[in-house]
Structure 1
Amino acid sequence: MNEFQLPDMTCSHCASMVTKALKLTDPDCEVTIDLKAQKVGVRSTEDRQTLADALAEAGYPPV
């Protein structure tokens, strides 16, 4: 499980966009969103950097 801190994820629309970006990268990934903590967990066969790049491209760069 990869976890990312996403300070730009502030609402349910953001969470939806984050999920969409990750699913485009790996359609079979499992995404867990903690909006209050601004964290996302991803279980995926893709490597961490690929997932981080997808998040950054969608406008939600992890810190």
Structure 2
Amino acid sequence: MPTFDVPDMTCEGCIRAITVAVQAVAPSATVQADLPARQVRIAGPAEPERLAEAMRAAGFTPALRAT
């Protein structure tokens, strides 16, 4: 399950925007956001880079965390 640092995720609206963007490219994806840590975990079939591209298109700057 890829985890991204998203430093510009600052509110519940950001979480909704990220969820919509991710589910546009991976409809069955589950998004788990940790707002205080500014991290997003995504469970689903899409490649991490494709998920990151979707978040960037929504105006965020995700960075894939090393496992």
TM-score by length of 2: 0.89
User: What is the root-mean-square deviation of aligned Cα atoms in Å?
Assistant: 0.7
Partner of 2:31: 31
Partner of 1:4: 4
Match of 2:59, SS?
A: coil
TM-score by length of 1: 0.94
Separation (CA, whole Å) in 2 of partners of 1:12 and 1:62: 16
Deviation at 1:28, TM superposition (A): 0.2
Partner of 1:49: 49
Separation (CA, whole Å) in 1 of partners of 2:4 and 2:52: 8
Match of 1:42, SS?
A: strand
Q: Percent identity?
A: 35
Partner of 2:62: 62
Deviation at 1:30, TM superposition (A): 0.9
Structure 2: 5+ residue stretches without partners? none
Structure 1: 5+ residue stretches without partners? none
Separation (CA, whole Å) in 1 of partners of 2:61 and 2:53: 8
Deviation at 1:61, TM superposition (A): 1.5
* 2:40 matches 1:15: no
Aligned length: 63
